[in-house]
Structure 1
Amino acid sequence: MVSTQSSNLITPFQTKLGSALTKNQISVLQINLGKRCNLACSHCHVEASPKRTEELSPEICEQLIKLIYNFPQIKIVDLTGGAPEMNYGFKPVVEAARNTGKQVIVRSNLTIYFEKGFEDIPEYCAKHQTRIVASLPCYLQDNVDKMRGAGVYDASIRAIQILNQLGYGKSSDLILDLVYNPPLPKSENFSLTPDQGKLEQDYKMFLQEHFDIQFNSLLTITNLPIGRTKLSLQRNQLYAPYLKFLDNNFNPNTIEGLMCRNELSVDYLGNVYDCDFNQMENLPAKLPSGEALTVAKFLEAGSLDLIEQVQTAPFCYGCTAGCGSSCGGALTINN
């Protein structure tokens, strides 16, 4: 819940829009396979870690596979976690999606490739031509290790080199994108994410020169005030000021491209949300009647387009500030 202080400071998101945020036809199915992860990153909005055990069940996995087969309008199946590769259902869902001609996105922390039992993941992803969207919050070692843990930068570089050897970042069928996350704020000197195009060139120049690494695109993602980011902001008494900063930098040009408008986000229990961020804040997608939705209800209805309005909250300003932010990076070129 938003504190009383922050509620007094910021404009309700729907008021800023002037109307409800409407849902478009669904084309993206994003699945959070579970909270198991080999890392515990300081900015993780999922609050995943090696200690978490929540993951997809066989029953929900079967429902999701049925959903993938039954609805050709799904063009992208986007797998996240935790480390999606660690959680139950990863390979069956990948194969169902590829068997039906859908693009599969795997949101990887890269270091999972060096964990026992997961060494085959790079080759598996290449075989099934999955698009890999990999976290590398900076091209400099110190910044990455501070955010994600000691040794993560070196492991990530080795993992990208393995992917390059398999053709990722080089072949048109093997897409490798990297993700930039800004450092968590420690004072009220907030800033928006850097220009995505310029930062991409900086990443490419540095990684090519120092490690002979190639990748396709850089995606800049704002730290939304949820999960561990929210906890960090609250510890530093920055939660309300950060929300107000995002509110002040609202960009109406981002609205058309918001990911929540054409996707369903599913948790490991089969509950459905408008986006991954709503999922982490337990803000379920709803029918016009107010009833919360599950995968089973979509299967029963025989339609994916049951939602009329996206559920919004103050943290939605994180996706609409500046150039915008989504699972696909910036939403506009200029503010």
Structure 2
Amino acid sequence: MTIAINTKITNFKSKLDTPLTKQEINILQINLGKRCNLACTHCHVEAGPKRTEELSKEICQQLIELIHKFPQIQTVDLTGGAPEMNYGFKPLVEAARQHHKQVIVRSNLTIYFVDGFGDLPEYFANHQVRVVASLPCYLADNVDKMRGTGVFDDSIKALQLLNQVGYGRNPNLILDLVYNPQLPTSEKFSLTPDQVKLEQDYKKFLQEKFDVIFNNLFTITNLPVGRTKLHLERKKLHTSYLQFLESHFNPQTVANLMCRNQLSVDYLGNIYDCDFNQMMNLSAKTGDGESLTVAKLLEFGSLDVIDEIQTANYCYGCTAGCGSSCGGTLV
């Protein structure tokens, strides 16, 4: 007798009581390109050393104009790839700081040991860039499995360099770490651990073992996008993982979702509601259904032209349990 397995997943949009709408935009997250010195197994961008896609001079200038034109932008969040390796990184940092915006760089840390990038810790300190660094575990074996042999050791050296220039000590030099769970290999799925407790564990271990200090730990759920999605599909776990995330949907997270007050921009200048939608090519839309670009926003003279946020079933990853965002848990 064949047993029918229910593989139905509730459409995320229908899970919500009301449409997911934008608030006033105050965060501009820019993906500068796919060039990276690492090729991490969980990377939703699918970045790596062989990727060449990056920001153009034209789009960089449009973004600088956008930063100058809209005082409501409080934070410019630079990501990649390794954002530091892609065209436009330093011009965007300096344009944003000139206008007193907070600048975040999402750094893989190991970039500091690539020829030509050894000045980055001092550069970050000079411009008071907030460093959000990936360290998916405080144990070497787990990090190296996800990110490559030797990455943990280089990451620790990089954190020590950042501490030496004042990060984690000077209140203007914020250093945050990001935890990602290991990719599942069976249906024994789990949500990210308690962020407060895990931060305490990270701080105790890293300070005692390596004399490393940092400010905050962000726990981020692996969304089934990019290499994570490919991994789940290879293991025949994609549907069951989505079902797991749906079963832990927490409506209290919805009010704080990162897509509500940010715009995500790709290296071609296209606009998305979040970085995950960007990787899945799900464009942000105006009320008239028009896709957006940086050039169109400049033409409109407004950042607040999106009514409803585009959603997909991987949005369950941001709304499961305590929620997940670029700044960690939501509730």
TM-score tier (shorter): over 0.9
Q: In 1, are the aligned partners of 2:56 and 2:267 still within 8 Å (CA)? A: yes
Could you say what secondary structure the match of 1:184 adopts? coil
Partner of 1:110: 109
Partner of 1:257: 256
* Cα distance change of structure 1 residues 53 and 81 upon mapping to structure 2, 3 Å threshold: same
Partner of 1:273: 272
Partner of 2:145: 146
Are 2:54 and 1:78 aligned? no
* Cα distance in 2 between the residues matched to 1:220 and 1:317: 16
Partner of 1:322: 321
Partner of 2:178: 179
* Cα distance in 1 between the residues matched to 2:155 and 2:200: 19
Cα RMSD over matched residues?
1.1
Are 2:228 and 1:222 aligned? no
TM-fit CA distance, 1:6: 11
* Cα distance change of structure 1 residues 321 and 63 upon mapping to structure 2, 3 Å threshold: same
* Cα distance in 2 between the residues matched to 1:18 and 1:136: 36
TM-fit CA distance, 1:14: 1.0
Are 2:93 and 1:94 aligned? yes
Q: In 1, are the aligned partners of 2:7 and 2:239 still within 8 Å (CA)? A: no
Are 2:63 and 1:64 aligned? yes
* Cα distance in 1 between the residues matched to 2:257 and 2:122: 32
TM-fit CA distance, 1:7: 10
Partner of 1:247: 246
* Cα distance in 1 between the residues matched to 2:266 and 2:273: 11
TM-fit CA distance, 1:20: 1.3
- Structure 2: unaligned runs, 5 residues or longer: none
Q: In 2, are the aligned partners of 1:6 and 1:243 still within 8 Å (CA)? A: no
* Cα distance in 1 between the residues matched to 2:301 and 2:124: 31
Q: In 2, are the aligned partners of 1:6 and 1:244 still within 8 Å (CA)? A: no
Partner of 2:154: 155
TM-fit CA distance, 1:289: 1.1
TM-score with structure 2 length normalisation? 0.98
Could you say what secondary structure the match of 1:30 adopts? strand
- 1:285-308 residue CA offsets vs partner (Å, 9 max, x unmatched): 001111100000000000000000
* Cα distance in 2 between the residues matched to 1:6 and 1:37: 41
* Cα distance in 2 between the residues matched to 1:7 and 1:119: 53
Are 2:327 and 1:310 aligned? no
Between stretches 236-245 and 8-17, larger displacement belongs to: 8-17
TM-score with structure 1 length normalisation? 0.97
TM-fit CA distance, 1:9: 1.6
* Cα distance change of structure 1 residues 167 and 6 upon mapping to structure 2, 3 Å threshold: farther
Could you say what secondary structure the match of 1:297 adopts? helix
Partner of 2:38: 39
Could you say what secondary structure the match of 1:218 adopts? strand
TM-fit CA distance, 1:147: 0.3
Q: Which amino acid aligns with 1:162?
A: L
TM-fit CA distance, 1:312: 0.2
Partner of 1:202: 201
Partner of 2:164: 165
Are 2:291 and 1:292 aligned? yes
* Cα distance in 2 between the residues matched to 1:167 and 1:96: 23
Are 2:188 and 1:189 aligned? yes
Could you say what secondary structure the match of 1:9 adopts? coil
Partner of 1:121: 120
* Cα distance change of structure 1 residues 235 and 163 upon mapping to structure 2, 3 Å threshold: same
Could you say what secondary structure the match of 2:239 adopts? helix
Q: In 2, are the aligned partners of 1:106 and 1:132 still within 8 Å (CA)? A: yes
* Cα distance in 2 between the residues matched to 1:258 and 1:104: 20
TM-fit CA distance, 1:18: 2.5
TM-fit CA distance, 1:271: 0.1
TM-fit CA distance, 1:94: 0.2
* Cα distance in 2 between the residues matched to 1:141 and 1:258: 31
**Residues matched between the structures, number:** 328
Could you say what secondary structure the match of 2:178 adopts? strand
Percentage of matched positions with identical amino acids = 72
Could you say what secondary structure the match of 1:197 adopts? helix
Q: In 2, are the aligned partners of 1:6 and 1:240 still within 8 Å (CA)? A: no
TM-fit CA distance, 1:34: 0.2
* Cα distance in 2 between the residues matched to 1:151 and 1:57: 32
TM-fit CA distance, 1:8: 5.0
Q: Which amino acid aligns with 1:15?
A: S
TM-fit CA distance, 1:67: 0.1
* Cα distance in 2 between the residues matched to 1:177 and 1:253: 25
Structure 1 consecutive aligned stretches of length 4 or more whose deviation exceeds 3 Å: 5-8
Q: In 2, are the aligned partners of 1:27 and 1:74 still within 8 Å (CA)? A: yes
Q: In 2, are the aligned partners of 1:298 and 1:304 still within 8 Å (CA)? A: yes
Q: In 2, are the aligned partners of 1:107 and 1:134 still within 8 Å (CA)? A: yes
